Amino acid sequence: MLNYIPHDVVREDRSDGSILLRSGVPLGPVAKNTGVWLHEWAEKSPDRVFVAERSGEGWRELRYAELLQQVRAVAASLLSRSGRFALFPGTASITRFSLSPGNTSACQLYP
């Protein structure tokens, strides 16, 4: 027999006809950002499959260690380009700051 995690679906019918479904089970601890869990899984289970897709007769698989390597390659490429980029240690976050006069905005490239 399979062991499923507990579930509790809460249904809310709204006056506009929409129906909201949400879990009544508390979420529990979550990672601060995707970089945290990526580093964690790449360290704990580097050969575990992160994502797979059909490819011809078989499957094309991307494992956690490979994904982290690709994220680091993208980060290195962005950091080597002109402009100012900040890589936050321990995460996969890269932010580009515009230092143009009068422009104080920043845009998140990879959360």
Tens-digit pLDDT profile for residues 20-39: 999 998 888 888 888 888 99
Strand partners, 21: 11
Largest Cα span, the chain? 65
Return the DSSP state at 83: S
Q: Which of 23, 19, 29, 1 is nearest to 10 (CA)?
A: 23
Specify the pLDDT at position 17: 95
Strand partners, 84: 97
Q: Which of 92, 2, 110 is nearest to 38 (CA)?
A: 92
pTM: 0.55
